[in-house]
Amino acid sequence: MDCYLMLMPFMVLFVTFTVIPVIMSVPVSFTNFNMVQTPEFVGLSNYTALFLSDRIFMKSIRITLIFAFFTGVVSFILCFVAAWLINSMPKKIAAFFTLIFYVPSMANVYSVWKVIFSGDINGYINSLLINTGIITAPIQWLTDGRYVLGTAIIVQLWLSLGAGFLAMRAGLQGIDRALYEVGAIEGIKNRWQELVYIVIPSMKPHLMFAAVMQIVSSFAAGTVIQNIVGFPSTDYQAHTVMTHAYDYGWVRYEMGYASAICMILFLVMYSVNRLVSHFLGKNTD
Amino acid sequence: MSDKKKVKISSGMAGRKKSGTVMIFVFLSVLGIFMFFPVYLTIVMSVKPVEELFVFPPKLYTLRPTLKNFSDMSEVIRQNRVPFSRYVFNSVAVTVSVTFLQSVIISMAAFVLAKCRFVGRKLINNIIVISLLYQSNVIYIMQYIVINKLNLTDSLYALILPSAASPMGTFLMKQSISQLPDSIIESAKMDGAGLFRICWQIVMPNQKPALMTLIIFAFQSSWNMQSGAFVFHEEYKTLPTVVNQISSAGMVRAGVSMAAAVVMLVPPVIVFTMVQGQIIETMAHSGIKD
């Protein structure tokens, strides 16, 4: 009985402010909701339009997949390596590095990247490259179609040692010290064996949490990119699925169509999540 | 026996070579420079005098630091009908409430979802993950409809209550508690402890790193929360809302928006440092024993 009592406050708030809005939003993708007129049921036409006639959507899928590889997969590994290596440092130094790596995620400080990548000779990257003689004319990092995706990936990568990284740190700190001692007695000789036999099995749930966070932040990226390389980006070169949804939802007010875009994205993220959860094994839910 | 002793001295970790540790330090430092450089630049630009902002080559430091950008920022905010302190008060109120509510509500729920057996547990856990993965720009509209139906618009409740049951925090805590051996809970039950006591006196003290991480997430997400469409009156708007107005207005120089970023960054850094200190202390004192 206590179970339900302890769960109750959470469930009331969670259902009211998260579950109900989520459920209410699902049918929107089958309508032509535009925030002014009463929505009409249009069947699957949003979805067919997406796949049959929206070339930019197809392009945005490709860009999102490239983006998700770097800021999802690469960043997940980076988060783990950083968290694990930090853990072997003395405590004060470990706390210092954790702070340094996490600072970018604490507040919106990313707009400074616009100054760093600025296209005139005053940009930090351009002035460095000109001074060292690598280039002679400034490169338009934020507007040249060849570079915008790379620039966006670097900024998002910088932001990506976030929630997942911190959860991994907590997971590592929560491992019982005695486990390492037992391991040493049982014949574990080096860091690698320790990693495989003690560290990873002890923090599978934290790895699963970090995976979900990484999936969300990489597949649903858009806002930061739009702020850095502009909206729409040159030749749609940094146009992610979420940016496409923003375009239709908040610029053209075609909410039904935007919902369909988000629904497709959700199905992709959910499948990836099932896949990761399968690899990490049971006990991860 | 002597083996065991040696292991203890090297903090219980196997095969630590000094050269390895130095290499790790070098690697972390290189990564650290990449991570911190933009933050450093933000801080430098926030104290640069305006005539130094556009020189070639751009400088990485300033010899004449000034607080002009900060005073300009408060000047811009003063043009609103509401004093600067009101925004700060709103943000502090939202941040403190959300952080407190989340730590209490989520800790209990996560404990139940990880360790109690009841019908629907798996379903709830799945819904939590799904709600994290489901990113749609219509949710915001639906949330607005719900908040409006509950007559909560235009009050701080509209900002506090929806974030009090964060699925992300719950998922984190639940994952972490699930690693705790069931035997601890079973033996506490044998001793006649109720679920409330087990949760707060046995499980949570063991979950300090996760709990502290939850507090960091809660603090920082609520501190950065913008009022959005849930609040129309200026006197209920939060600090990030007005700070964002400054930087997105585009009329002011880069220096002022950097100053705004620094203002937003300082409190989370302080809280983070305090919380980290707490984790280090508990890890040094408490042994988690099965």
A237 vs chain B: nearest CA distance in angstroms? 22
As given in the structure block, the two tokens for residue A139 are 């490169």
* Residue owning tokens 């903090």: B11
Q: Do A14 and B167 touch (CB under 8 A)?
A: yes
Other C-beta atoms closer than 10 Å to the C-beta of B277 total 14
Nearest to B106 among A10, A93, A174 (CB): A10
Percentage of chain B modeled with pLDDT above 90: 46
Backbone torsions φ then ψ of B10, nearest 5 degrees: -85, 40
Q: Is residue A11 predicted with pLDDT exceeding 80? A: yes
Q: Give the pLDDT confidence of A105-164 residue by residue, as tens digits.
A: 998 888 889 889 988 887 889 888 988 888 888 889 998 889 999 999 999 999 988 899
pLDDT at A136: 85
**Contacts of residue B131 in chain A, CB cutoff 8 Å?**
14, 18-19, 22
Q: Give the pLDDT confidence of B166-208 residue by residue, as tens digits.
A: 999 999 999 999 988 888 888 888 988 888 899 999 899 888 8
Of A250-254, B31-35, B169-173, B212-216, where does mean pLDDT reach its minimum? A250-254
pLDDT at B6: 41
- Average pLDDT rounded to a whole number, residues B61-73: 86
Q: Do B36 and A100 touch (CB under 8 A)?
A: yes
Q: What's the CA gap between B231 and B160, in Å, rounded?
A: 12
- Average pLDDT rounded to a whole number, residues A199-223: 91
Q: Do A191 and B196 touch (CB under 8 A)?
A: no
As given in the structure block, the two tokens for residue A66 are 């490239």
- Average pLDDT rounded to a whole number, residues B147-158: 92
pTM of the model: 0.90
- Average pLDDT rounded to a whole number, residues A57-79: 94
DSSP structural state of residue A29: G
Nearest to B276 among A3, A95, A158 (CB): A95
Which residues, in sequence order, are bridge partners of residue A41? A31
Q: What's the CA gap between B157 and B231, in Å, rounded?
A: 10
- Average pLDDT rounded to a whole number, residues B140-163: 92
Of A241-255, B78-92, B215-229, where does mean pLDDT reach its minimum? B78-92
Q: Do B178 and A263 touch (CB under 8 A)?
A: no
**Contacts of residue B158 in chain A, CB cutoff 8 Å?**
none
What is chain A's percent helix, strand, coil content, to nearest 5? Answer: 75, 0, 25
**Contacts of residue A121 in chain B, CB cutoff 8 Å?**
56
pLDDT at B15: 56
pLDDT at B14: 55
As given in the structure block, the two tokens for residue A248 are 């239709």
B210 vs chain A: nearest CA distance in angstroms? 6
Q: Do A161 and B35 touch (CB under 8 A)?
A: yes
Of A23-27, A189-193, A246-250, B157-161, where does mean pLDDT reach its minimum? A189-193
**Contacts of residue B51 in chain A, CB cutoff 8 Å?**
none
pLDDT at A178: 82
Q: Give the pLDDT confidence of A77-103 residue by residue, as tens digits.
A: 999 999 999 988 888 899 999 999 999
Q: A169, A83 in Cβ contact below 8 A?
A: yes
Q: Is residue B10 predicted with pLDDT exceeding 60? A: no
Q: Is residue B287 predicted with pLDDT exceeding 70? A: no
Q: Is residue A218 predicted with pLDDT exceeding 70? A: yes
As given in the structure block, the two tokens for residue B26 are 């070098």
Tell me the average pLDDT of chain B. 85
Which residues, in sequence order, are bridge partners of residue A31? A41
Confidence of residue B74 (pLDDT cuts 50, 70, 90): confident
Dihedral sign for Cα atoms in the order B180, B182, B187, B192: positive
A57 vs chain B: nearest CA distance in angstroms? 16
Confidence of residue B265 (pLDDT cuts 50, 70, 90): very high
How far are the Cα atoms of A171, A229, A266, A272 from residue A201, in angstroms, in the given order?
11, 41, 29, 21
Q: Do A18 and B118 touch (CB under 8 A)?
A: no
Nearest to B25 among A89, A92, A105 (CB): A89
Of A53-57, B69-73, B283-287, where does mean pLDDT reach its minimum? B283-287
Confidence of residue A232 (pLDDT cuts 50, 70, 90): confident
**Contacts of residue A177 in chain B, CB cutoff 8 Å?**
11-12, 287
Q: Is residue B289 predicted with pLDDT exceeding 70? A: no
Closest CA to A284 of B60, B273, B122, B157: B122
Q: Is residue B11 predicted with pLDDT exceeding 80? A: no
Q: Do A176 and B288 touch (CB under 8 A)?
A: yes
- Average pLDDT rounded to a whole number, residues A233-257: 91
pLDDT at B250: 58
- Helix A204-219 to helix A75-87 angle (10° resolution) is 140
| CATH class of segment(s) A43-283 | mainly alpha
pLDDT at B3: 43
pLDDT at A241: 93
Percentage of chain A modeled with pLDDT above 90: 55
Q: What's the CA gap between B148 and B132, in Å, rounded?
A: 23
DSSP structural state of residue A235: G
